[in-house]
């Protein structure tokens, strides 16, 4: 079975594999989606129309821009996860790193003195530092106390979220708004929108960062070493790679990227930090799923991120026009995760099959 | 369980592959192969790694579906959907890597998934024990039903695997490299048991690369090369082979070896006479723990231009010694610690030096486990070849890799060390075992360090690759570099070593200079400790 399975893989490039994987996932998903829409009693054509308009249409492309904005945040979190996963580090604490990054960036952007560009730069720096620190804490817990990273990083999500809730619920609450959120950032400290649209430039930041991260993985010594450490930890150690330092540095980079995404959401999209704004849309988890869906193939990660963003905004559109509940999108997303689970073992370092024997 | 099994229990089983072809992607792994396994015979299948031996057996067991041809059991075409179905039909397999649950007892392992039902979901261990005792007595297999597998030596574990197959009424038994981890004495015992099973009418299929074993035990030997059957000949009931002059036997050995490699045999090793140089590696009173075993205190010195062999059966503390010397166990307790002894590499006390630091001092390391420690199988050949050279140009420029230079470097290794690879971009995992090992050896030798630690460098490697690795090690020695060869292969130790330390039970128990060591003296020293321990047990038993 093992030999036969690996035999099938031979000769198929990553491109073909990825396409095959996508169609293998898409077909059953389409069937499930069709069944669910039928169950909700909506005409299929109308639902699909609503979905497509909701994801890609709108007056002056408003919905497409929403999809893009959301895709940017998901792709950012996906690249953060990709950095860790390829190095064999199961950092699933992106959510905590994202929340602390967003919170720190908001507080600094609101309270830092000085001209706007300086404050914005400081806010980004604070967000990245907070994310990096939180990710490294999970790494230190593993190295020093033996808490597996998978568990440590996951559990650190909760204190991060609750701490952020407390901060915006009490000491830094915008009391006048009546909600657990900070006050708005001074308007000159908002990231600008693309001219004539309601899309902030955060997406461009994400595009640049994504390219940088992919270049890092493909062309730098550190990127290669981190990947080798993930693919074959015993090999990395015997080859004299500084595996602890590599791991901590990679975690820091991953956490910093998550914190950066949090800062973008604050400075570009929401202009404040409000409780749950980075948790409820499931940016971090969707990012992880996007990475796993494409089997860590880096250039495909943005496509997967865009797909999930479109799924969510399209579902909202479907609800508005065809009265199909948007929860269907969540069900579909869960189905995607189930399909992914069957493929994960082969794409994530440390959980892979053996090579064919003689 | 099944009526099929009960009906045919104990009857002879004819199995055959007829015209089987298996393709993996574009590669043909097995090419129109027909083999007939007859009851009452030991049928040896030999060939290099990648010759298709394992694939052929996997077809027999239904683990791989043939693209053409069929499996015939007792004349009927069969296709097993699972190993379980193959077991039901009377096939049994003893894998090279044991598949026992270490924390369970022998009895529990034997009945696992074939538990006699005592009703109410309980296991009838009483009945199981009776069957086990009967099998043990019938075939002269020593097994302690209540021993924990974890506590057993490898030879005993192999017995458990065999009994497990017999318990399932295996009428055809496949053993994949069964002596890889056994002492010479344990191998003898295994062969005696296989002969008894054969004489009782069972079919034995033996996959191996050791020609001496083939000649000692087989009734029929089939040679595979590149998926094709090269020859299949009967070794007549010992008569011609055993009684004929040594020349005839050696002649057959040569014929088989030539058929395996498909050409001329590699030239014998040549060794330059040279006086040993400076001491480059010194261990003093090194102590470690390996599982329940205390390893050491160990002392050794290694000089330039010398091959020092540490010979011993696997699992006698060699692993702990190597980890200590390479620095892989440093993380457990950083900093100097008097009780752990002292290791000097090129004159430097390396207690607080990590692997990278020791490599910088000139240490090279060819690990035993090439699949996990020697290579990153999912990385490319070029990446694997370059891993230890990424600190400075020419393979890196600033923080960036110079991919072109990495590929050129790897291409050089591929050419000079005759590594069969599609090229520098090929995934290391696509190389055959022997070529993977050549890649590791090439990378480490090319570093040109003063000390090379080679841990079973030819384990599971075919004849051609063994010769290539040995040639390189010898060339390094002649070049004045020092080699610590950790090996459980007597032939390898005898061929290469200038000096040999024998390791048993965590200690060096004997030392031989070149010329003093023979197969017999080494074999005795390797098993001596274990044998005397068993002897005292017997004495104690008698006294009681």
Range of the domain at B448: 279-378+434-534
CB-based contact A240 B369, cutoff 8 Å: no
Same domain, B252 and B289: no
**How many domains would you assign to chain B?**
3
Tell me which residue in B25, B388, B399 faces A221 most closely, judged by beta carbons. Answer: B399
Q: How many CB pairs under 8 A join A and B?
A: 112
Which one is predicted more confidently, B155 or B175? Answer: B175
The residue from B200, B232, B260 where one domain ends is B260
* Residue B66, in any domain of the structure: yes
pLDDT of residue A341: 64
Chain B hits for A8, CB-CB cut-off 8 Å, are: 25
What is chain B's mean pLDDT, rounded? 83
CB-based contact B63 A231, cutoff 8 Å: no
Rounded to the nearest angstrom, the minimum Cα separation between B362 and chain A is 12
The residue from B404, B426, B448 where one domain ends is B426
pLDDT of residue A249: 96
CA B147, B153, B156, B161 torsion-angle sign? positive
Chain B hits for A355, CB-CB cut-off 8 Å, are: 371, 377, 429-430
Same domain, B73 and B204: yes
Q: What is the pTM of this model?
A: 0.77
CB-based contact B400 A221, cutoff 8 Å: yes
Same domain, B86 and B69: yes
**How many domains would you assign to chain A?**
1
SS3 B423: coil
What is chain A's mean pLDDT, rounded? 86
Chain A hits for B81, CB-CB cut-off 8 Å, are: none
pLDDT of residue A57: 81
Residue B57 near residue B176, CB atoms below 8 Å: yes
Q: Which single residue is written with the structure tokens 């080699």?
A: B483
* Residue B253, in any domain of the structure: yes
Is B208 within 8 Å of chain A by CB?
Answer: no
Rounded to the nearest angstrom, the minimum Cα separation between B372 and chain A is 6
Q: Which single residue is written with the structure tokens 């396994």?
A: B37
Question: How many alpha carbons fall within 13 Å on the CB side of residue B505?
Answer: 10
CATH, residue B329: 3.40.50.300
pLDDT of residue B34: 92
Tell me which residue in B26, B58, B383 faces A224 most closely, judged by beta carbons. Answer: B383
Same domain, B159 and B297: no
Residue A64 near residue A55, CB atoms below 8 Å: yes
The residue from B426, B459, B487 where one domain ends is B426
SS3 A351: coil
Is B388 within 8 Å of chain A by CB?
Answer: yes
Rounded to the nearest angstrom, the minimum Cα separation between A180 and chain B is 45
How confident is the model over B28-82, as pLDDT tens digits?
888 999 999 999 999 999 887 778 888 888 888 888 888 899 999 888 888 888 8
CB-based contact A237 B355, cutoff 8 Å: yes
Same domain, B204 and B316: no
Is B49 within 8 Å of chain A by CB?
Answer: yes
Tell me which residue in A2, A3, A237 faces B328 most closely, judged by beta carbons. Answer: A237
Rounded to the nearest angstrom, the minimum Cα separation between B388 and chain A is 6
How confident is the model over B265-280, as pLDDT tens digits?
777 788 888 888 899 9
> Alpha-carbon Rg of chain A, whole angstroms?
21
Chain B hits for A1, CB-CB cut-off 8 Å, are: 63-64
Best B381, B387, B455 residue to mutate vs chain A (most A CBs within 10 Å):
B387
**CB neighbours (10 Å) of residue B3?**
7
pLDDT of residue B531: 38
Is B521 within 8 Å of chain A by CB?
Answer: no
CB-based contact B378 A239, cutoff 8 Å: no
Question: How many alpha carbons fall within 13 Å on the CB side of residue B78?
Answer: 25
CB-based contact B390 A224, cutoff 8 Å: yes
B residues 322-361 near A, CB within 8 Å? Answer: 326, 328, 354-359
Best B24, B61, B334 residue to mutate vs chain A (most A CBs within 10 Å):
B24
Q: What percent of chain B has pLDDT over 90?
A: 27
* Residue A40, in any domain of the structure: no
How confident is the model over B420-462, as pLDDT tens digits?
888 899 999 888 777 888 899 999 988 888 999 999 888 767 7
Rounded to the nearest angstrom, the minimum Cα separation between A154 and chain B is 26
Task: In whole angstroms, give the CA distance from residue B47 to residue B31.
Answer: 14
B residues 430-459 near A, CB within 8 Å? Answer: 430, 432-433
Mention every residue, 6+ apart, whose C-beta is less than 8 A from residue B21: B28, B30, B31, B32, B33, B66, B67, B68, B69
pLDDT in tens, chain A (358 residues): 333 333 344 445 667 776 776 677 678 778 888 888 888 887 888 888 888 888 888 777 888 898 999 999 999 999 999 999 999 999 999 999 999 999 999 999 999 998 999 999 999 999 999 999 999 999 999 988 889 999 999 999 999 999 999 999 988 898 888 899 999 999 899 988 888 778 888 999 999 999 999 999 999 999 999 999 999 999 999 999 999 999 999 999 999 999 999 999 999 999 999 999 999 888 999 999 889 888 888 998 999 999 889 988 888 888 888 788 878 877 887 887 777 666 654 555 544 333 333 3
Rounded to the nearest angstrom, the minimum Cα separation between A14 and chain B is 13
CB-based contact A10 B25, cutoff 8 Å: yes
Mention every residue, 6+ apart, whose C-beta is less than 8 A from residue B370: B433, B436, B437, B440
* Residue B153, in any domain of the structure: yes
* Residue A256, in any domain of the structure: yes
Looking at chain B, how many residues does it have? 544
* Residue B23, in any domain of the structure: yes
* Residue A25, in any domain of the structure: no
Task: In whole angstroms, give the CA distance from residue A220 to residue A217.
Answer: 6
Question: How many alpha carbons fall within 13 Å on the CB side of residue B162?
Answer: 27
How confident is the model over B328-353, as pLDDT tens digits?
887 555 555 667 888 999 888 888 88
Chain B hits for A11, CB-CB cut-off 8 Å, are: 25-26
pLDDT of residue A5: 38
Is 0.85 exceeded by the ipTM?
A: no
Task: In whole angstroms, give the CA distance from residue A134 to residue A157.
Answer: 9
CATH, residue A103: 1.10.3470.10
Range of the domain at A343: 46-347
Residue A35's H or E segment, with its range, is helix A14-40
Is B123 within 8 Å of chain A by CB?
Answer: no
Chain A hits for B45, CB-CB cut-off 8 Å, are: none
Tell me which residue in A221, A227, A232 faces B396 most closely, judged by beta carbons. Answer: A221
Same domain, B243 and B309: no
Chain B hits for A296, CB-CB cut-off 8 Å, are: none
Same domain, B293 and B350: yes
Same domain, B325 and B241: no
CB-based contact A240 B432, cutoff 8 Å: no
């Amino acid at each position: 079975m093992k030999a036969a399975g690996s035999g099938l893989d031979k000769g198929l490039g990553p491109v073909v594999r990825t396409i095959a994987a996508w169609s293998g996932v898409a077909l059953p998903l389409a069937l499930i989606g069709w069944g669910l829409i039928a169950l909700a009693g909506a005409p299929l054509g109308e639902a699909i129309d609503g979905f497509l308009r909701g994801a890609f249409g709108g007056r002056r492309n408003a919905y497409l821009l929403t999809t893009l904005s959301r895709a940017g945040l998901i792709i950012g979190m996906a690249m953060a996860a990709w950095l860790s996963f390829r190095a064999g580090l199961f950092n699933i604490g992106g959510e905590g790193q994202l929340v602390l990054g967003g919170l720190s960036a908001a507080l600094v952007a609101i309270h830092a003195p000085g001209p706007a560009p300086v404050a914005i730069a400081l806010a980004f720096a604070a967000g990245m530092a907070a994310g990096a620190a939180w990710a490294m804490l999970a790494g230190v817990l593993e190295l020093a106390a033996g808490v597996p990273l998978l568990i440590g990083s996951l559990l650190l999500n909760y204190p991060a979220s609750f701490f952020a809730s407390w901060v915006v619920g009490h000491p830094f609450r915008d009391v006048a708004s009546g909600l657990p959120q900070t006050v708005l950032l001074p308007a000159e400290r908002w990231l600008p929108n693309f001219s004539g649209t309601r899309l902030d430039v955060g997406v461009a930041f994400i595009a640049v960062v994504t390219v940088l991260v992919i270049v890092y993985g493909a062309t730098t010594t550190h990127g290669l070493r981190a990947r080798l450490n993930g693919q074959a930890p015993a090999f990395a150690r015997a080859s004299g790679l500084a595996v602890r330092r590599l791991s901590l540095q990679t975690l820091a980079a991953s956490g910093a990227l998550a914190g950066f995404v949090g800062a973008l959401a604050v400075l570009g999209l929401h202009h404040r930090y409000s409780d749950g704004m980075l948790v409820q849309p499931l940016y971090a988890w969707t990012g992880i799923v996007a990475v796993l869906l494409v089997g860590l193939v880096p250039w495909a990660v943005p496509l997967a991120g865009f797909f999930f963003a479109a799924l969510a905004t399209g579902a909202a559109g479907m609800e508005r026009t065809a009265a199909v509940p948007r929860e269907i999108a969540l069900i579909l997303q869960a189905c995607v995760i189930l399909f992914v689970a069957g493929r994960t073992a082969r794409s994530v370092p440390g959980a892979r099959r053996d090579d064919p024997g003689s | 369980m099944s009526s099929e099994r009960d009906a045919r229990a104990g009857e002879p089983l004819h199995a055959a592959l007829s015209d089987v072809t298996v393709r993996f992607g574009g590669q043909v792994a097995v090419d129109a192969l027909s083999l007939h396994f007859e009851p009452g015979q030991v049928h040896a299948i030999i060939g290099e790694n990648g010759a298709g031996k394992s694939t052929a057996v996997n077809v027999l067991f239904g683990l791989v579906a043939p693209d053409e041809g069929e499996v015939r059991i007792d004349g009927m075409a069969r296709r097993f959907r699972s190993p379980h179905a193959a077991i039901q039909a009377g096939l049994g397999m003893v894998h090279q890597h044991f598949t026992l649950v270490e924390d369970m007892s022998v009895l529990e392992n034997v009945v696992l998934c074939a538990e006699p039902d005592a009703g109410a979901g309980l296991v009838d261990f009483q009945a199981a024990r009776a069957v086990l005792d009967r099998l043990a007595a019938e075939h002269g297999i020593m097994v302690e039903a209540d021993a924990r597998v974890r506590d057993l030596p490898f030879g005993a574990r192999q017995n458990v695997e065999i009994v497990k197959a017999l318990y399932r009424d295996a009428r055809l038994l496949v053993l994949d490299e069964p002596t890889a981890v056994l002492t010479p004495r344990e191998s003898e015992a295994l062969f005696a048991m296989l002969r008894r099973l054969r004489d009782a009418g069972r079919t034995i299929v033996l996959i191996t690369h050791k020609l001496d074993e083939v000649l000692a035990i087989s009734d029929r030997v089939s040679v595979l090369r590149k998926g094709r059957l090269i020859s299949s000949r009967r070794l007549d009931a010992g008569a011609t082979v055993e009684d004929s002059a040594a020349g005839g036997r050696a002649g057959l050995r040569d014929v088989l070896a030539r058929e395996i490699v498909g050409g001329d045999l590699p030239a014998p090793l040549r060794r330059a006479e040279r006086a040993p140089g400076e001491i480059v590696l010194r261990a003093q009173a090194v102590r470690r723990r390996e599982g329940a075993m205390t390893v050491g205190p160990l002392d050794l010195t290694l000089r330039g231009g010398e091959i020092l062999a540490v010979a011993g059966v696997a699992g006698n503390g060699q692993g702990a010694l190597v980890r200590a010397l390479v620095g892989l166990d440093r993380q457990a307790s950083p900093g100097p610690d008097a009780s752990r002894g002292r290791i000097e590499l090129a004159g430097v006390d390396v207690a607080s030096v990590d692997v990278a630091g020791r490599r910088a001092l000139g240490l090279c390391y060819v690990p035993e486990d090439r699949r996990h420690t020697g290579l990153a199988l999912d990385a490319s050949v070029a990446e694997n070849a370059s891993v230890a050279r990424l600190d400075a140009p020419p393979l890196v420029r600033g923080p960036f890799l110079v991919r072109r230079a990495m590929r050129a470097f790897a291409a050089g290794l591929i050419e000079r060390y005759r590594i069969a690879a599609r090229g520098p971009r090929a995934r290391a995992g696509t190389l055959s075992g022997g070529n993977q090992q050549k890649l590791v050896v090439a990378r480490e030798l090319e570093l040109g360090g003063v000390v090379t630690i080679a841990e079973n460098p030819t384990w599971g490697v075919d004849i051609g690759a063994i010769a290539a690795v040995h040639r390189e090690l010898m060339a390094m020695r002649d070049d004045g570099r020092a080699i610590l060869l950790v090996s459980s292969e007597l032939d390898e130790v005898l061929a290469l070593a200038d000096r040999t330390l024998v390791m048993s039970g965590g200690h060096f128990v004997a030392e031989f200079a070149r010329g003093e060591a023979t197969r017999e003296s080494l074999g005795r020293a390797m098993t001596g400790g274990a044998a005397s321990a068993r002897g005292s047990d017997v004495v104690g038993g008698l006294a009681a």
